[in-house]
Structure 1
Amino acid sequence: MLGEMPISSPGHEFDVAIVGGGPAGLAAGMYLARFLHSVIVVDAGDARAKLIPKSHNCPGFPDGVGGSELLGRLKAQAQRYGAGVVDGRVAGAKKRDGTFVLTTTFGTIRARRVVLATGIVDKAPAIEGLEEAVAAGTVRLCPVCDAYEAVGKRIGVVGPEHLALKEALFLKEYSGQVTLLANYPEDISDAARGMASAGGIEIWDTVEDLVARATGFGVVMADGAPMRELDVVYPAMGSDVRSELAVALGAECDAQGYVLVSRHLETSTAGLYAIGDVAEGLNQIAVAFGHAATAATHIHNALQSRPES
């Protein structure tokens, strides 16, 4: 049984190594273990899902589920079927004679196939108490996930205009009061102002600071105007894609760093797969599960030399 293997032993070999312990990586580990493959999931402990105070759009949880609880359930499910889930980081990777060699914080591991589920890191403004605000739901990172929870609230959107305006227009469907926040008038072009006005979106031009409160934010204005109030702030600042390992292994990425994949989630490097947020697409838990199932099935058939439809 995999649970009896010396997982931390240098040079240990697996059918599949999965880098990333978020929903995509853990679901892939569960699938592959149920396909009777030896699998190790290397979990750095920094899954984006940990930031979710409670998700109400994760299928199967009508009352919502916290990110940490969901990750715990997924880890237990993967381990139940024999996947090894190990705390650690992958510092380097190379492919030699058809085998992947990963250098980790607990030793060297080798695998016939590798799945990258390394995700992304959201960019956010420098707000004091940001982590607490995310946990309280007064800073939200994904309108596709939780705009429903912001229905009727006073919403502020911060970020470069091409991202912030798009997000503000999306959120306007949920609230009558959506505001773009800028430090200086020149931060938002005349064209963007026209589109915002047409969409019923306010613009506050001289925002100096956001002061976190238990139920929202006080907005300090640099022009001396009275402090204004918001219930929720959405950063629309983009993200950093964790595709360094993909690049090290020769996989092609797009201009933003997302790993390019086939319909089976295989990268341009044979035997290397990328699933979840690191592969461009809708950054959703449900998508991560679909990616995991698709990649795991393709890997299983490839390892068994079965044709894939």
Structure 2
Amino acid sequence: MTAGRRLWVARPADLHDVAIIGGGSAGLSAATTLARSLRSVVVIDGGEPRNAPADGAHNVLGQEGISPLELLARGRDEVRGYGGEVRSDTVVDARRDGDRFALTLASGGTVRARRLLLATGLVDELPDIPGVAELWGHDALHCPYCHGYEARGSRIVVLATSPMSAHQALLFAQLSDDVTLVAHAADALAEQDRANLAAAGVPVIDTSVERLRVRDEEGSARLDGVELADGTVLQPDAVVVAPRFVVRGDLYERLGGTLAQTPMGGVVETGLMGATAIPGVWAAGNNTTLNAVVTVAMGEGVSAGAAINADLVMADLLLGKTVEHSR
């Protein structure tokens, strides 16, 4: 029954200790933590990382500027190196099956697990301005901590599409003396915003944006100007926009959860170390923390993985005592 001090309890061969939905920074970090604790863990990932358009991931200690796709590839190798499983597939349904969970895959298969971690992330819903999607992650930016240093000292135009835009402009003004805000959405700026921008030396242009001009440069889309509704064309080096954050929360809702509403959008609400209101279900990364950068998502994944392992330790102890008592 035991090997050393570790408790072994017989389980079905097709039952994983933990299933992780989402193979981004949070999901892979959790999987590595669990696999290093000798847990049977499977990661199911649809292959659509949010930061795929970006040239590099920044503020990643020891891996500064690494390609986001390369970072994830290394993470998958590490999970597999510790005995974890990574599947390229999409979970289309999740349900509780007694004291475990059953996940239905797009491929037609089913994965069963004792515990579940949702690391499904979010989708950036971009403003409906022609050119933004083509330039997203390169010349169209949103996060000063992800891309700001690379735009330092350059000509920057902030497109005010939400109440967050003034805050963005102030942060980018720390990095450049040439920041202009275009009040694309009439209700995006409050009077205090205008006062703050004026104090920071950020001029405001009160008009809407017609489109971002895009040119082809050696097969890559590059910014060729910001065309305003009155025909004026600005010539910045980069534009800053505020996307709407849409959490991938459908599976959480299928399991009986309800997204909590915040000023930035709905999230999977968690308590200590990623535990959700649904027993046996944890969450980590951008689906619970909308502004989490790569390293924050990694940390949340490690914490959730550790919490799940501790929960399973106690469950195994209780199950072992029950089995022993029944003999």
Whether these two folds match at TM > 0.5 is: yes
1:65 shift after superposition: 0.3
Amino acid at match of 2:282: Y
C-alpha separation in 2, matches of 1:253 and 1:92: 17
- How far residue 21 of structure 1 moved from its aligned partner, in angstroms, is 1.1
> Could you tell me which of 197, 221, 234 is aligned with 2:228?
221
Give the structure 1 partner of residue 176 of structure 2: 175
Q: Distance in 1 between matches of 2:132 and 2:243?
A: 15
The TM-score with structure 1 as length reference comes to 0.87
Give the whole-Å Cα distance in 1 for the aligned partners of 2:62 and 2:203: 37
| Equivalent in the alignment of 2:259 | 253
Match of 2:240 in 1: 234
Please identify the structure whose Cα radius of gyration is greater: 2
Query: What does residue range 111-122 of structure 1 map to in structure 2 within 5 Å?
Result: 111-122=113-124
- Note closer, same or farther for the CA distance 1:290–1:189 as it changes in structure 2 (3 Å cut): closer
Counterpart mapping for 1:149-168 below 5 A: 149-168=150-169
Residue 126 of structure 1: how far off its partner (Å):
4.0
Match of 1:298 among 296, 299, 307: 307
Name the counterpart of 1:102.
Answer: 103
1:264 corresponds to which residue?
A: 273
Which is further off, 155-164 or 232-241? 155-164
Q: Mark the runs of 5 or more structure 1 residues left unpaired by the alignment.
A: 1-10
Distance 1:234 1:184, change over 3 A: closer
Supply the distance in 1 between the matched residues of 2:147 and 2:231 (Cα, whole angstroms): 33
- Where 1:49 maps in the other structure, the secondary structure is coil
Q: Which residue of 2 aligns with 1:7?
A: none
Q: Contact between 1:24 and 1:288, CA under 8 Å: does it hold in 2?
A: yes
SS at match of 2:274: coil
1:95 counterpart letter in structure 2 = R
Over 3 Å counting, the alpha-carbon distance change for 1:188 and 1:282 in structure 2 is: closer
Q: 1:129/1:51 Cα in 2 relative to 1: closer, same or farther (>3 Å)?
A: same
Match of 1:3 in 2: none
Structure 2 alignment gaps of length 5 or more: 1-12, 317-327
Cα deviation 1:215-265 (Å, max 9, x = unaligned):
53412122233x211111121133111111112212343112211111211
TM-superposed deviation, 1:105: 1.2
Contact in 2 for aligned 1:154/1:232 (Cα 8 Å): yes
The amino acid that maps onto 2:168 is E
**SS across alignment from 1:102:** strand
**Aligned residue identity for 2:177:** G
Are the aligned partners of 2:26 and 2:285 in contact in 1 as well (CA < 8 Å)?
Answer: yes
Kindly provide the amino acid, as one letter, of the partner of residue 252 in structure 2.
A
Q: Percent identity?
A: 35
Aligned to 1:212: 214
Could you report, residue by residue, the CA deviation over 1:177-196 in whole angstroms, capped at 9, with x for unpaired residues? 22222346666454533332
Structure 1, residues 24-52: CA drift from partner, whole Å, max 9, x if none? 11111122111111111111101113232
Name the CA shift for 1:236/1:129 in 2 (closer, same or farther; >3 Å): closer
Q: CA RMSD in A?
A: 2.3
Tell me if the contact between 1:33 and 1:81 (Cα under 8 Å) persists in the aligned partners.
yes
Q: Tell me how far apart the structure 2 counterparts of residues 254 and 248 of structure 1 sit (CA, whole Å).
A: 15
CA distance in 1, matches of 2:25, 2:309: 19
Deviation at 1:16, TM superposition (A): 0.5
Q: Residues 187, 115 of structure 1: CA spacing in aligned structure 2 closer, same or farther, 3 A cutoff?
A: closer
Partner of 2:135: 133
What SS does the corresponding residue of 1:52 show, helix, strand or coil?
Answer: coil
Structure 1 contact 252–268 (Cα < 8 Å) conserved: no
Distance 2:256 2:279 in 1: 10
2:156 alignment partner AA:
I
2:245 matches 1:244: no
**Bigger CA drift: 178-187 or 109-118?**
178-187
Give, as a single letter, the amino acid of the residue that structure 1 aligns with 2:234: R
Whole-Å separation in 2 of the counterparts to 1:244 and 1:269: 14
Query: CA–CA distance in 2 between the matches of 1:293 and 1:306?
Result: 20
1:168–1:178 contact (8 Å) kept in structure 2: yes
Distance 1:33 1:185, change over 3 A: closer
Aligned residues: 294
Q: Does the 8 Å contact 1:163/1:238 carry over to 2?
A: no
Alpha carbons 2:15, 2:112 under 8 Å: kept: yes
Task: Name 2:289's counterpart in structure 1.
Answer: 280
Which digits, 9 at most, give the CA deviation of each residue in 1:274-302, with x for residues without a partner? 00111125411111111111111111111
Distance in 1 between residues matched to 2:66 and 2:246, nearest whole Å: 26
| Cα distance, 1:129 vs structure 2 | 5.4
Answering whether residue 85 of structure 2 is matched by residue 76 of structure 1, we say no
